[in-house]
Structure 1
Amino acid sequence: MTTWIDVCHIDDLQPDSGVCALVKGKQVAIFYLTRPKAVYAIGNFDPFSDANVLSRGMIGDLGGKLMVASPMYKQHFDLTTGVCFEDTQVRVPAYPARINGDRVEIQLGE
């Protein structure tokens, strides 16, 4: 059974932006959207630049899908699946994330 991991207080996040958290040894980019009030979590490592920078990317949508644009070479990654829009063979890990009361929780999987 996969368990929820408490990461931080919702006030520790930047509204409509991303932050990086070290969760069980993994760098996780956490994005907090105020409309709708939701959090998304993906791996922070950008496979195109070989740098941990995705939490610094710009969030938005492409074709109605939530995404983050890498601050390095501008590839776009789906916030729900981690799939790259420009090259669907490339993906970053996407983690279930939720707001539970005033706490942010994610699941890293097995």
Structure 2
Amino acid sequence: MAQQGATLQNFNNELVKSIEELREKREQISRAILKEEEEKAKISNDLRILTERLSRINESLARKISARNEYDKTIQETEQAYMKILESSQTLLHVLKRETVNLNKQVGQ
């Protein structure tokens, strides 16, 4: 009977030891979970900040692209008007030269 008591005591000791090992592993997992949850929260916050920043940059880019397009349009319209002025100036110069020649012919006669 003493041997059965000793065997039972050994089983009990092993059982207690196994339970302690399981608790220790559970605690390790709990610490790992906590660490990953903290990392997840940090990454989520970083992602929120970056998403807001990306949104602001996209809005800024849209405004700047629109402004650049307006500059392009204004430059093109101004260049076209300037070319018309040059053409008109050239035509005026030709007319002036022709009239000067005609006037000189009339005065010279």
The two structures have a TM-score, normalised by structure 1, of 0.12
The two structures have a TM-score, normalised by structure 2, of 0.12
More helix by share: 2
